[in-house]
Structure 1
Amino acid sequence: MAETRVAVIGAGMAGLACARRLSESGVAVTVFEAEALPGGRMRCHACEALLVDHGAQYFTASDPRFRSWLTEQLGAGRVTQWHGRIVVLREGAAETADFRMRYVGVPNMESAISSLAGGIDLRLGSPVASLRREAGETELIDADGRSLGRFRSVAVAVPAQQAATLLADIAPALAGDARQAPLSPCWAVMLGFRDRLRVGFEGAFIEDGVLSWIARNDAKPGRDGTETWLLHAAAGWSEEHRDKPEAEVAAIMTDAFLRAIGRQDITPDVSLIHFWPYAQPLAPLGKPCLYDPVLGIGACGDWCLGSRVESAYISGLELGDRLVALSEQDAATTRRAGAGQNG
């Protein structure tokens, strides 16, 4: 049996929620993350010019389990309510959006997820290229064919398309389910302005074909400095312009933004761009997670349940519950075997 019992692939909200559930239950867990930092789409973009939440913009809470986690984060000062005015822009007119409570990390969205990673064995910059089954365990392999370790159980917490690829050979049924929940891409543009734009809202949903969301990042709690706007392109537009040059995409999105707020007289002082290849679930599966109890392999993510941060957390928690139960079952089997030998 492998010394480390469970591997989690992916250190976004779902993966870290799963790992935290395992760790708090006394199950040894190692998290493998391809990027240099954890957080997934809750990371922020940092450079000398701008610090911007360029992925997840805020989150809401309805499930009691997520509310419990949220209460802890609020108490620790890592999360606070965002009271900014959110509107819907249609043909130049701004209508106030729903009045649901929205929360953000402080001083950025990464803060909201940082506590989940604390104390976890986290292997950053460790992409997993493939999985291999042998003798009841799953071996993680990197792009060079080197082993990253063998584990009793594996939780795949990456976008659905990537999960399907990893699971195709060892858990084809799970891979087939994951293929039914693809994520759409999203172009994100970050703009900085020395002069205030004096726009009468802090966030807006847009239906203009190019953009889907804009937000004044520096107006969120705990932020300051240069007036900074985040622009998210619409899913369909992002797909159509997936392979376009970044400069061309940024120019089109910036123009759409300035037209939407009626400020075509100005030019941003700073402009940055990022492409999210897997941003928004197109057709969530409507189930908590994917899991094969015989193999001890599962998958989790917002694409299982919905399209929100809360969906990712609950999906990771649900898969964690199943893997904890499997660990307890293994321990009980070991105890019975030991008792039989002693008898």
Structure 2
Amino acid sequence: MSRDILVVGGAGYIGSHMVRMLADAGHRVTVFDNLCRGHRDAVGDARFIEGDIRSSGDLQRGFASGRFDVVMHFAAFAYVGESTQQPALYYDNNVTGSLRLLEAMREAGVNRLVFSSTCATYGDPVELPITESHPQRPVNPYGATKMMVEHALRDYGRAYGFDSIALRYFNAAGCDPQGRVGERHFPETHLIPLALEEALRVSTGGDPASTGLSIYGNDFDTVDGTCVRDYIHVDDLCRAHLLAADRLLSGACRGAETYNLGNGRGFSVLEVIAAVRRVTGVDIRYRMGPRRVGDPGGLVGSAVSAGEVLGWQPRIPGIDEMVATAWRWMLANPTRGAHVGNGVASMPAP
């Protein structure tokens, strides 16, 4: 059945992929985004409202434009390092903005929300794989702000009959297999696009020895000494949001629910770089630096609950296929995907 879905933050990386998947499924999609970090062209033909979640007036204007069955919330700042340097920015947007969104939904009589959360709420792992019952002890403001919104959703569920599903995911990766949208962060901090940008630079005549690709730490207790992370293809993330919306619309969810999304296995930084070499055919190089304070050696999640309740399983679990979808998009959009890479992200920042 076709539904009216409001995608808040729908011009960003994951949000824009969600918009395409919802449209493919026959839903009527409206995007609400302030474009401070998103791209207008990424939403395609979807109805678009430019607005900021921190503005009650913008939100009221957005909800006055139509009746929405479900809201999907992707409008967060998500750079771990930036959150430690500018915590006020993160608390203002991620917490205050989310609370204003919830109030605007209440005023409009909309009580179903799919919330894009993160494994950064867990902090340093005490056991692997990480399940939903793992202690939440975030070690940076980004993770703390997401956890605060999760707490608010539980309170809104108890007090106002507000139904929500928060999806805590690990490292988003890859691009639309059809090549319609891709990953465009400025600056880019994610490992796969940074490694692919290095492959693109070398393949177009760049000196391999002048690499800007850095690895932070090779002395972790992992298979090869580098950080291990759980990567999940962006389409698999979006499909989980679609299943979560279906659960909300069916009435099966009452109050606030939370599920991890991950592959259940991890890939080290060096394993990802090896995959980039295989996919691109370019022998990229890197610089090795010391580990960064606060970087855990391994982050791998359990998505058993998402499988049991939502019926979700990743369809693109292989690292080579994830890299290949990102490489195809980068080759087709070299100027859109070109950044100056100066590091490798080791903390999850979906």
TM-score, normalised on structure 1? Answer: 0.31
Higher helix share: 2
Higher strand share: 1
TM-score, normalised on structure 2? Answer: 0.30
